[in-house]
Structure formats: C-alpha cells, structure tokens
C-alpha cells in the first residue's frame, strides 16, 4: 500500500494551475450555465435540471443515490448501504458477506431506520433570517434570534407543504436557503452483491486507482405499504460513458473548506484534523484487535471498522496537503487577494478572534458535547462516550428538557421540523450487542482519561470510582435502553418519566449535560460572530467575482461536471476506464489471496463475463466525501455510472481544487448490467432498470 503523501511535483502543479478545470459543487438553482456553454457547447434546460434534482436522493446513512425506476427502485453504494445491511443481518444471515437478491417484491427486506430525502424545492430566505439579528445584540442573543427565525421558517414551511424543511447556511452565513424534502422512511433492500466484490482490494485499494469494485446497493422506496410511484427517475444506459465524454454528478458533498478564513483552516491543520486522526488511529487498533477474536466479532464491528479505516485514510491525505508549504501559500494568497481588493481584513481578524475563543472550550466541547467532523462521516456522539446506548440516553433526556421550551428556543435537532427523523432514529430496531458496546465505550472512556487526566473532576464523575472497562460494563449491562418500547415510553412520558427511570446511562447523560450545554453555548456564540463576519465577506466576494460562484459543500444537493479522462502518475498513463478482464488478472497477480481474491460466484461465472466490459472509470468532476452513491449522468440525463471513491490525489479537494491528477472514481453502468445479467441471474431486476415490460 502506498503512503498517503502527495508528491511534490503534483503539489507544485496544483498550486500553479488552480484556476483551470471543471471546478465547482454548484447549486441547482444557480448552475454553471455560462461555463458549460463556453467549454462544452451544452446548456442544460430548467427541465433537465429539475428532472435530475428530483431523481437524486440523500441517504441519512451518509451518502447519495438516485431513483432508477418508476416503481421506487433506487441505487447507492454498497458502503452507503452497509449500515442497513449490517443492521438487518444476524449471526445466521449475513447480507454483508453473502449479498442478497429479492427475486420478488415480497422478498424485499425492510430497513430498520433508513431515511431517503429528495429535494423538491428551494427558497432564498436570507433577508428574513438576517433581519432577525440586530446590530446591538450580543453574540448569544443574536444566535438565539437567528435560531428562532430559522425554526419559524422551517415550521411554517413544513405545516404548509408537509415536506421536511431545512434552512441551509451557505457561504458561511452569506445566504440562507430553505430546502424542502420529500421523505421516504419505508425503504427495502432489493439487491446487494457480496462485500468482496463491492469492496474489492479492501483497505489497500481504498482511495486508489485503477479499481475493480461493484460498489452498489439497490433499494426500493415504499409509500403506504406499496412501491412508491416515481415521476422523476434516471433512464438506464447499459453502455456507460466513453473516454472523453462530458458527464454530470448530482449528489450531496459533505463539507469543503475552500472559503474559510486562514485562521479556521489553520485550526483544521493544527487541531481538528490531527485530533480526528488520533481518534481514528486508536479506534482502528481496538476494532481490528476485537474483530480478530472471532468471525462474529468481525461481523458486528464491520460498519464501524470500515468507517474508521476510510476516515483515517481520508484525513491522512488531507493533512498531508495542509502541511505542504506550496499549498499553504496558495491558501494564504487566496485570502490576501480578497483583502487587498476590499476592506475585509478587519472581518478576517474578527474571525480569528472568535476562533481563538472557540479553541479554549474545544476539548470539553468535543469530548462531552460532540466532536467536530464532516456531516457525512457518521459520528454524532461525544468523543468520550462512543456508544449507541449513550446516544439514545442523551436524546431521551434532552427531548424531555427541550420540549418544555418554545420551538424556536430548542436545539435544532429537537425542533418540530425534525421530529419524524428523530423518532425514526430513536425507535430504530437495530441490533445492539453488549460486548461491542462495552469495548467501544471502554476505549472512549480511556481516551477521555488520557486527554484530561485521571484526577480531572469531570473524569472522576464520569468514571464514578471505577476503571474504564468496569464503568463501561456497569453502564451497558445496567441500562434498559436496548428495549425500543422503553425508549418510546420515556420519549412519550417527557422529563418526569425520564427522571423516574433512574437508568444509569441516562443518569450519566444528565451528569454531563450541564457542562456540555455550557460549552455548546460558547461555541455557538463564537460561531455567530463568524457567521456575521462571513456574511460581510460574502458581500465583498460577490462584488468582486459576481454572484455566479458556488458555496462550500454542506451535505446538500449539488451539481458537478467533468469529462471521463485518465491521468499521468509516476511517468505512467493511467487509463480512464478499467475492464472486467482486469479483475481476474488482478486476482491472479495476487494469487487470489485476500483482499484481492475474486469471489467464488465471479470465478464460477468467468466464462459468461465479457472481459471487455467497462468496470470502473474516472472523471475530473469535483467531488468529496458525501458524494458516495451519486449518479453519474450523460447529456441525455441517463444513468451511466455511480460515484464510489476518489483517488489519492483527490484528498486535498476539501480545501483547494485541482484536476491535474485528482479524479472521481465510479462504477460503470455497463459493469452493473453485465453483473446482474451474467453473474447474479437477476434478469427481472435488470428488466425493471431498463424499462422493459
């Protein structure tokens, strides 16, 4: 496995040629029409954009997807569906390892807590949100006023339309848009290949290319117990894209930092990313050790292990980019260019002061409230308490407290507009294993003790005179929160029922709730200062560059575009498209040993697989984490592939764009077609994809 370091020659090219290429994660209501017309002589119509928007899906498990039939079929990555595959698996039935195909609709398996969001409309509510904040307000009061306005907008919209309604912050506070989503929470598994072909090459090949992965998972959305009737779905193109062809990506990139102030990116470089890496490295160690004890341990830890490995590699590459002097100079020059052309230097100073104030509370905030990270990374628990059961405890505790307040004064996650999503997660029937909960919680309590010291008052309170492993065991075996009916009882009973329960995990959540709320208040007040400063900076940027610029990613729907093309690496030309025959050659090269062993099903069907079938391809579309599962479409708005990764050179795209070597990696629709027909005997499913009667 190659080290995750970016070559100096690549970095030099990146910094010297930043302005070129198909850069941008564009809003659907502000697409790059001029750029597309000038470079590709193609201008998508409003109808083309509306169709793609409403065919695209956001998965609450942290990725993207799309509808591919009129009867609710939708496709995403296997690794996006992995959370669901594991939750519906058991010791006897392993959908992750063995795969699954429902030959009839009655065989489709319902997901435990999967939610799909489809963006139906957007509305600019910037003026209304900003009008709530008065110049004389303190940062804390301004944050409350802004939150109240957002809550009111969301509630009004949801009551009027029946759609999930989220106010999204764009340009770090320069604009606020209301996004209305249609929700699907009855979602059923239709098809998943075995993990070995979905994640072929395993951890060594992650963020690498060439690749041979069938990284797909197909679900069906239901409404009122019947397959959903979908007006906007993508027509299936069984041939895939050609080398050099223009393609489009519609997905939900998680978070980019391209418009952040230097002070905030410096915090990423010096604090946030190293802190995340420290956590991921230590968690990877215990996960591998625990998984090695038995196959059942490995199965139970699969989702968490894959998530940790992926994030560890991702942040390794990101940090390597941030530490490169050439890239750092380009980041500083980007800000200097703006301050030289506008009176924004005092605003950047204001952001730095707020960042300095934030850093004073960050240790407590991250360990006891929630640690910072990418919204698509799948982590919301505080770092000191890595436990699904603790997350349940905090939610029922805070729900009881927050619901006594007016809607606009609650934490966002407890507003009326989020009620359905909260209940879906809280009442999930996912399996919870005591042994795995104990090992996770033991490690995070040990991490907490190492960070603050065994004599720290908060540490002493949390451990309650016990070792991390004894305390974790006491909490996990003593709580009743594994019982869904118990969680519902507390949720419906409110604060009095929660207090009367005397549940040890809930009492732990109560013990740290005061300090956690205090640091959250400081964190959000400083964030309010930043938002106000960024709003003024956005005005200056709009004045200098016009309004046709894209905002940083926010795990909301964006449009990217680019061509299918290879690149040069270490003096070699890397082809844009791999072929099915290369899968078998790669297996032979590695003596068919893990993680390069070709699955038995594929070996048995080798004679039926056309070796010239396109398998994976790369394009220079601008993508980042959260785009996993995004559909790749051609100019006819046909499905030609699905994003599942980026190469090693793409890891720096969080903070700066390049198209010299950075590539988005996709599974080709031709490979999916070939696999369904000749490997999995899933012709009825393929017929539905291709619109056959």
Say if residue 6's pLDDT is above 60.
no
Q: Mean pLDDT throughout 43-52? A: 98
Q: Mean pLDDT throughout 268-276? A: 94
What would the pLDDT profile of 546-583 be if each residue is shown by its tens digit? Answer: 878 999 999 999 999 999 999 999 999 999 999 999 99
Coil vs helix vs strand at 634: coil
Q: Sort 46 into a burial class: Cβ within 10 Å, 0-12 / 13-18 / 19+.
A: exposed
What would the pLDDT profile of 157-182 be if each residue is shown by its tens digit? Answer: 999 999 999 999 999 999 999 999 99
CA-CA-CA-CA dihedral for 229, 235, 240, 241, to nearest 10: -120
Can you give the pLDDT at residue 4? 33
Q: Percent of the chain, pLDDT > 70? A: 96
Give the other-Cβ count within 10 Å of 55's Cβ.
24
CA–chain centroid gap for 257, Å, is 15
Can you give the pLDDT at residue 372? 75
Of 253, 270, 458, 280, the closest CA to residue 355 belongs to 270
Can you give the pLDDT at residue 373? 62
Give the other-Cβ count within 10 Å of 285's Cβ.
12
CA–chain centroid gap for 33, Å, is 27
Q: Mean pLDDT throughout 456-466? A: 98
Q: What angle do CA 241, 247, 250 make, to 5 degrees?
A: 120
Give the other-Cβ count within 10 Å of 589's Cβ.
10
Say if residue 268's pLDDT is above 80.
yes
Q: Sort 514 into a burial class: Cβ within 10 Å, 0-12 / 13-18 / 19+.
A: exposed
Flag the least confident range among 3-7, 132-136, 532-536. Answer: 3-7
DSSP state of 26: B
Coil vs helix vs strand at 511: helix
Say if residue 3's pLDDT is above 50.
no
What would the pLDDT profile of 8-31 be if each residue is shown by its tens digit? Answer: 333 333 333 343 479 999 999 999
pLDDT band of residue 378 (cuts 50, 70, 90) is low
Name beta bridge partners: 26: 559
Say if residue 380's pLDDT is above 90.
no
Chain position carrying tokens 């509306």? 50
- Listed by start position, the domains of the chain span 8-115+185-257+551-689, 118-183, 262-528
Given phi > 0 = left and psi -120 to 50 = alpha, else beta, which region is 202?
A: left
pLDDT band of residue 75 (cuts 50, 70, 90) is very high
Of 219, 212, 191, the closest CA to residue 676 belongs to 191
Q: What angle do CA 523, 490, 507 make, to 5 degrees?
A: 55
Answer for the pair 68, 236: CB distance below 8 angstroms, yes or no.
yes
And the tokens for 227?
């397959």
3-state helix, strand, coil in the chain (%, to 5): 50, 15, 35
Sequence-distant (≥ 6) Cβ neighbours of residue 219 within 8 angstroms: 65, 73, 74, 75, 76, 81, 84, 111, 114, 187, 188, 189, 190
Name the helix (H) or strand (E) containing 687: helix 683-689
Q: CA 166, CA 181: separation in Å to the nearest integer?
A: 8
Flag the least confident range among 148-157, 432-441, 538-547. Answer: 538-547
Burial 187-199 (b: 16+ CB within 10 A, else e): bbbbbbbbbbbbb
Q: Mean pLDDT throughout 518-525? A: 97
DSSP codes joined into one string, 271-338: IIHHHHHHHHHHHHHHHHHHHTT-HHHHHHTHHHHHHHHHHHHHHHHHHHHHT-HHHHHHHHHHHHHH
Sequence-distant (≥ 6) Cβ neighbours of residue 457 within 8 angstroms: none
Sign of the CA dihedral with 39 first, then 40, 41, and 42 last? negative
Q: Mean pLDDT throughout 409-420? A: 96
Can you give the pLDDT at residue 379? 54
Q: CA 195, CA 1: separation in Å to the nearest integer?
A: 20
Q: Sort 394 into a burial class: Cβ within 10 Å, 0-12 / 13-18 / 19+.
A: buried
Can you give the pLDDT at residue 7? 37
And the tokens for 577?
């498209």
Flag the least confident range among 89-93, 369-373, 414-418. Answer: 369-373
Q: Mean pLDDT throughout 530-541? A: 95
Q: CA 647, CA 662: separation in Å to the nearest integer?
A: 6
Can you give the pLDDT at residue 171? 96
Stronger pLDDT, 56 or 657, i.e. the higher one: 56
Sequence-distant (≥ 6) Cβ neighbours of residue 64 within 8 angstroms: 56, 57, 58, 76, 80, 250, 251, 252, 626, 627, 628, 629, 630, 631, 643
Q: Mean pLDDT throughout 532-537? A: 96
Coil vs helix vs strand at 534: helix
Q: Mean pLDDT throughout 362-384? A: 80
**E strand intervals along 143-285:** 164-170, 175-184, 186-192, 217-223, 226-227, 235-236, 246-251
Of 128, 26, 52, 169, the closest CA to residue 547 belongs to 26
Can you give the pLDDT at residue 546? 81
DSSP codes joined into one string, 348-407: HHHHHHHHHHHHHHHHHIIIII-----TTS---S-TT---HHHHHHHHHHHHHHHTTS-G
What would the pLDDT profile of 191-210 be if each residue is shown by its tens digit? Answer: 999 999 999 999 999 999 99
- What's the fold here for domain 8-115+185-257+551-689? Thrombin, subunit H (2.40.10)
Q: CA 164, CA 90: separation in Å to the nearest integer?
A: 33
Q: CA 72, CA 229: separation in Å to the nearest integer?
A: 6
CA-CA-CA-CA dihedral for 328, 331, 332, 334, to nearest 10: 160
Q: CA 249, CA 623: separation in Å to the nearest integer?
A: 8
What would the pLDDT profile of 625-638 be if each residue is shown by its tens digit? Answer: 999 999 999 999 99
Q: Mean pLDDT throughout 379-397? A: 92
Answer for the pair 684, 103: CB distance below 8 angstroms, yes or no.
yes
Sign of the CA dihedral with 548 first, then 549, 552, and 558 last? positive
And the tokens for 533?
């400063």
Flag the least confident range among 161-165, 219-223, 317-321, 374-378. Answer: 374-378
Can you give the pLDDT at residue 547? 79
pLDDT band of residue 253 (cuts 50, 70, 90) is very high
Can you give the pLDDT at residue 693? 57
Can you give the pLDDT at residue 544? 83
Q: Mean pLDDT throughout 516-521? A: 97
Name beta bridge partners: 124: 177
Q: Is the peptide bond before 210 cis (omega within 30 degrees of 0)?
A: yes
């Amino acid at each position: 496995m190659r080290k995750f370091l970016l070559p100096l020659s690549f970095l030099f090219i990146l910094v010297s040629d930043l302005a070129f290429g198909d850069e941008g994660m564009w809003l659907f209501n502000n697409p790059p029409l001029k750029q597309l017309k000038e470079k590709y002589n193609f201008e998508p119509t409003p109808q083309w954009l509306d169709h793609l928007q409403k065919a695209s899906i956001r998965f609450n498990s942290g990725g993207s997807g799309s509808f591919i039939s009129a009867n609710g079929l939708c496709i995403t990555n296997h690794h996006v569906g992995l959370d669901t595959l594991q939750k519906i698996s058991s010791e006897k039935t392993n959908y992750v390892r063995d795969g699954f195909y429902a030959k009839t609709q009655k065989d489709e398996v319902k997901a435990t807590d999967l939610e799909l969001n489809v963006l139906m409309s957007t509305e600019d509510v910037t003026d209304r949100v900003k009008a709530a904040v008065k110049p004389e307000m303190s940062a804390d009061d301004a944050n409350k006023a802004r939150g109240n306005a957002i809550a009111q907008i969301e509630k009004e919209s949801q009551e009027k339309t029946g759609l999930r309604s989220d106010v999204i912050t764009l340009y770090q506070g320069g604009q606020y848009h209301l996004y209305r989503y249609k929700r699907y929470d009855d979602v059923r598994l239709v098809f998943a290949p075995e993990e070995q072909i979905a994640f072929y090459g395993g951890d060594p090949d992650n963020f690498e290319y060439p690749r041979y992965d069938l990284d797909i998972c197909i679900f069906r959305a239901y409404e009122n117990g019947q397959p959903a009737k979908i007006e906007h779905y993508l027509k299936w193109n069984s041939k895939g894209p050609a080398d050099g062809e223009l393609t489009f990506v519609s997905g939900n990139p998680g978070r980019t930092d391209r418009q952040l102030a230097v002070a905030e990116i410096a915090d990423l470089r010096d604090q946030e990313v190293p802190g995340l890496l420290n956590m991921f490295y230590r968690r990877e160690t215990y996960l591998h050790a625990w998984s090695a004890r038995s196959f059942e341990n490995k199965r139970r830890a699969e989702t968490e292990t894959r998530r940790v490995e992926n994030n560890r590699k991702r942040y390794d590459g990101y940090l390597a980019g941030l530490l490169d002097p050439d890239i750092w100079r380009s980041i500083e020059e980007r800000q200097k260019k703006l301050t030289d052309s506008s009176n924004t230097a005092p605003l950047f100073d204001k952001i730095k002061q707020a960042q300095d104030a934030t850093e004073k509370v960050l240790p407590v905030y991250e360990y006891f409230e929630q640690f910072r990270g990418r919204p698509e990374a799948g982590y919301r628990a505080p770092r000191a308490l890595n436990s699904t059961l603790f997350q349940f405890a905090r939610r029922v505790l805070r729900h009881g407290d927050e619901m006594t307040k007016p809607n606009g004064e609650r934490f966002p996650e407890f507003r009326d507009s989020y009620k359905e999503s909260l209940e879906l997660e809280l009442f999930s029937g996912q399996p919870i294993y005591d042994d795995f909960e104990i090992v996770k919680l033991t490690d995070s309590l040990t991490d907490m003790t190492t960070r603050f010291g065994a004599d720290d008052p908060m540490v002493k309170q949390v451990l309650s005179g016990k070792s991390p492993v004894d305390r974790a065991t006491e909490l996990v075996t003593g709580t009743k929160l594994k019982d869904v009916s118990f969680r519902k009882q507390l949720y419906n009973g409110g604060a009095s029922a929660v207090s009367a329960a005397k549940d040890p995990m809930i009492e732990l959540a109560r013990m740290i709730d005061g300090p956690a709320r205090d640091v959250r208040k400081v964190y959000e007040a400083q964030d309010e200062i930043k938002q106000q400063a960024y709003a003024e900076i956005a005005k200056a940027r709009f004045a200098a560059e016009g309004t046709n610029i894209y905002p940083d990613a926010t795990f909301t729907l964006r449009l990217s575009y680019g061509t299918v093309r290879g690149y040069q690496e270490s003096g070699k030309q890397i082809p844009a498209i791999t072929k099915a025959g290369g899968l078998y050659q790669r297996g032979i090269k590695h003596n068919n040993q893990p993680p390069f062993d070709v699955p038995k099903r594929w070996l048995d069907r080798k004679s039926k697989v056309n070796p010239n079938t396109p398998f994976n391809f790369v394009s220079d579309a601008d993508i980042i984490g959260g785009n996993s599962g995004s559909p790749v479409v051609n100019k006819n708005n046909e499905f030609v592939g699905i994003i599942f990764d980026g190469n090693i050179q793409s890891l720096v795209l969080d903070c700066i764009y390049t198209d010299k070597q950075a590539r988005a990696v996709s599974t080709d629709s031709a490979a999916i077609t070939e696999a369904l027909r000749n490997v999995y005997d899933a012709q009825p499913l393929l017929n539905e994809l291709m619109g056959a009667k």
